[in-house]
Amino acid sequence: MNAIEIRDLRKSFGAKQALCGLNMTVPVGAIYGFIGENGSGKSTTEKIICGLIHQSGGNIKLFGRDHTDADVRARVGVLIEAPGCFPNYSVWNNLMLQAANLSIKNADDEVRKVLRTVRMEGAASNKYKNCSLGMKQRIGIAMALLGNPALLVLDEPINGLDADGMRIMREVLSDITKNYQCTVVISSHILGELEKIATHYGIVRGGKMIREMTAEELEAGCRTYVALQTKDMNRTKTLLGCKYSRVVEENGYIRVYDAESPEEIVTYLYENNILVSEITTDKIGLEEYYIDLMNEKEVR
Amino acid sequence: MEMKFERNSFGKRLKSMLSVDFRRMFTMPLFYIMVGISLVIPILILVMTTMMDGTVSVNPQTGVETVMEGFDSTWQAIGSVSGEGMMMDMSLTGMCNVNMLYFFVAVFVCLFVSEDFRSGYSKNLFTVRAKKSDYVISKTLAGFVGGACMLIGFFVGAMLGGAISGLPFDTGTAGIYGIVMCLLSKILLVAVFVPIYLAVSVAAKQKTWLSIVGSLCVGMLLFTMIPMLTPLDSGIMNVILCLAGGVLFSIGLGAASNKILRKTSLV
């Protein structure tokens, strides 16, 4: 069964077409990395899933039921843009209010549990307006986690955080995926972070889903490259450029994307009197895969 | 694999929504400020107008003398007897009575509703609430209770103001029964105004200023009806009339608010 099944989703804001027939399938239990450029339609899709805006066309099913079904929607947790909290209330009171909204019986225990999950036990009495951006994002996640959600929709929860905030958020997200049996849809521009937790990916562009794949498919689809260093990088690059179609210099290394094996490159350079000082093979990550895909589509 | 979801009955949904709204209302300073203002205003009005009663002011240009008229009875702060002041009374005693609280209720309801949208809490609310009617019913009831508390605050303030300023408490032709019915009618009349303010507020969403201005403008249209519907010598018919009006407005405008929420963006 799929947690989310979207077919031919369309949404227009006046003359602007934000979504043009988007399809999306998120299996139950998946951690779905939702990727796309700014304005590609990620947030619009998420808001429609959560019933915050209305689609112009298409249909959405959550766990096999219509997305407007009250019983299903009661089990959706959301953090879209900023967390929806009252600034003059304490963190605890904001969470208790959401607990009341969800008719949670042991509200105190449940609120303590989510505060522990987001590493905010010590800040429960702080006023929301006095919290840092990282804390606010974690409070938003705590609110979304209340009531044992079956589906968690997190819109860019790590954007704008400093290194420490990002580290804590990574730990929090990792805990959620381990300890809460829920399907997570998470959109972010920080693909390196997303890659560490996502099991499925959806790449959206211009209001359309251009690719959906599992983490395994991404792994298989990511090309291997050979990275090397020599004493004469300019000559090496020119030489390799004559033999291989894609040679890029990046971070002090020359990357060759279409070589059969590292030995082949070493031999070729040796024949041309260049000695290789360091050589490794690696695979491109999600970020490069995404950039490649975007470039590919742009060319088309 | 079929996932099972607990059934969320209307009763359960409404109960949780009411608990959110009442918890919010009774923990927000705004509510206590509004009730406090409602309590203090009649004391100030009654004491000050009594002090100034009979004061003569002369227009230096025209030489026309104006005699300041204060309240004759404490109950004038609550309403006028049938036949008196039924038209739009622009005198001080006609304007400065409990009826002006319906405008204060507008400010309260608009701030209460718009805060949901301005803080972004509406995202949490409406994500887990597919049925917008829960929100409308709950907000109408909370607004009604808030407005009723303000009216009661004004009534208590009028009694205190009357006692401080030494105004008579003579019920005259209205009688205790009439005054009780008048107060009850006025409280029930809040249920006519709250759905109007709620509809304007959900349409304006986070634009607080628009919801307040809109509510005051629409409320103004019905303002002239208040003295006619709720005279000081009200009877059971006035109570029934206000109750029926409240129910009708709540259902009709509640449906309109529900439609606005269903058809428009909630963020």
Task: Dump pLDDT digits (tens) for A12-65.
Answer: 998 899 999 999 999 998 999 999 988 899 999 999 999 999 999 999 999 999
pLDDT (0 to 100) of residue B198: 97
Task: Give the other-Cβ count within 10 Å of A238's Cβ.
Answer: 11
pLDDT (0 to 100) of residue B160: 95
Contact assessment for residue B81 and residue B231, using Cβ atoms and an 8 Å cutoff: yes
Instruction: Report ipTM for this prediction.
Output: 0.83
Cβ-based contacts under 8 A for chains A and B: 112
pLDDT (0 to 100) of residue B94: 67
- Of the partner residues A71, A81, A93, the one whose CB lies closest to the CB of residue B5: A71
Query: What are B17-44's pLDDT values in tens digits?
Result: 999 999 999 999 999 999 999 999 999 9
HEC readout, chain A: CEEEEEEEEEEEECCEEEEEEEEEEEECCCEEEEEECCCCCHHHHHHHHCCCCCCCEEEEEECCEECCCHHHHCCEEEECCCCCCCCCCEHHHHHHHHHHHCCCCCHHHHHHHHHHHCCCHHHCCCEHHHCCHHHHHHHHHHHHHCCCCCEEEEECCCCCCCHHHHHHHHHHHHHHHHHCCCEEEEECCCHHHHHHHCCEEEEEECCEEEEEEEHHHHHHHCCEEEEEEECCHHHHHHHHHHHCCCEEEECCEEEECCCCCHHHHHHHHHHCCCCEEEEEEEECCHHHHHHHHHHHHHHC
Query: What are A191-249's pLDDT values in tens digits?
Result: 888 888 899 999 999 999 999 999 888 877 777 888 999 989 999 999 999 988 888 88
- For residue A93, list chain B residues with Cβ-Cβ distance below 8 A: 27
HEC readout, B47-71: HHHHHHCCCEEECCCCCCEEECCCC
Cβ–Cβ below 8 Å for A1 and B3: yes
Question: Which pLDDT band holds residue B59 (cuts at 50, 70, 90)?
Answer: confident
- Of the partner residues A51, A71, A85, the one whose CB lies closest to the CB of residue B8: A71
Chain B residues with CB within 8 Å of chain A CB: 1-3, 5-8, 12-13, 15-17, 19-20, 23-24, 27, 29, 115, 119-131, 262-263, 265-267
pLDDT (0 to 100) of residue A177: 78
- For residue A82, list chain B residues with Cβ-Cβ distance below 8 A: 120
Q: Give how far A53 is from chain B: nearest CA, Å.
A: 5
- For residue A88, list chain B residues with Cβ-Cβ distance below 8 A: 29
* pLDDT greater at residue A155 or residue B172: A155
Q: Are strands A16-27 and A2-13 parallel, antiparallel or unpaired?
A: antiparallel
- Sequence letter at residue B23: R
Sheet holding A224-230, edge to edge: A247-250, A253-256, A224-230, A276-283
**In chain A, domain spans:** 2-220, 223-283
Report the C-alpha gap between B206 and B143 in whole angstroms. 18
Contact assessment for residue B112 and residue B121, using Cβ atoms and an 8 Å cutoff: no
For residue B115, give the chain A residue with the closest CA.
Answer: A86
Lowest model confidence (mean pLDDT) among B89-93, B126-130, B158-162: B89-93
- For residue A54, list chain B residues with Cβ-Cβ distance below 8 A: 262-263, 265
Of residues A205, A192, A251, the one with CA closest to residue A225: A251
Report the C-alpha gap between A141 and A135 in whole angstroms. 10
Q: Give how far A63 is from chain B: nearest CA, Å.
A: 7
Of residues B76, B91, B105, the one with CA closest to residue B188: B105
Average pLDDT over residues B49-78: 82
pLDDT (0 to 100) of residue B1: 57
Cβ–Cβ below 8 Å for B121 and A84: yes
Question: Measuring CA to CA, how many Å separate A85 from each of A5, A79, A95, A114, B125?
Answer: 30, 11, 9, 16, 11
Average pLDDT over residues A66-80: 91
- For residue A87, list chain B residues with Cβ-Cβ distance below 8 A: 119
For residue A107, pLDDT over 90 is answered with yes
Chain A residues with CB within 8 Å of chain B CB: 1, 28, 47, 50-54, 63-65, 68-78, 80-89, 93, 96-98, 100-103, 143, 147, 150
For residue A149, give the chain B residue with the closest CA.
Answer: B128
For residue B209, pLDDT over 90 is answered with yes
Q: Are strands A208-214 and A224-230 parallel, antiparallel or unpaired?
A: unpaired
Report the C-alpha gap between A219 and A232 in whole angstroms. 33
Furthest C-alpha separation in chain A: 76
Residues in chain B, overall count: 267
According to CATH, the superfamily of the domain at A2-220 is P-loop containing nucleotide triphosphate hydrolases (3.40.50.300)
Contact assessment for residue A102 and residue A48, using Cβ atoms and an 8 Å cutoff: no
For residue B87, pLDDT over 60 is answered with no
Report the C-alpha gap between A29 and A98 in whole angstroms. 24
Please tell me the CATH code under which domain A223-283 is placed: 3.30.70.790
The two structure tokens encoding residue B226: 């208040």
Cβ–Cβ below 8 Å for A51 and B126: yes
Report the C-alpha gap between A33 and A23 in whole angstroms. 15
- Sequence letter at residue A246: R
Query: What are A124-182's pLDDT values in tens digits?
Result: 999 999 999 889 989 999 999 998 899 999 998 887 788 888 888 888 888 887 788 88
**Sequence-separated (6 or more) residues with CB below 8 Å from residue B130:** A51, A68, A69, A70, A73
Best of A26, A44, A65, A103 to disrupt the B interface by mutation (most B CBs within 10 Å)? Answer: A103
Of residues B25, B193, B220, the one with CA closest to residue B116: B25
Cβ–Cβ below 8 Å for B20 and A97: yes
Furthest C-alpha separation in chain B: 91
Average pLDDT over residues A293-299: 67
pLDDT (0 to 100) of residue A299: 46
Report the C-alpha gap between A60 and A50 in whole angstroms. 10
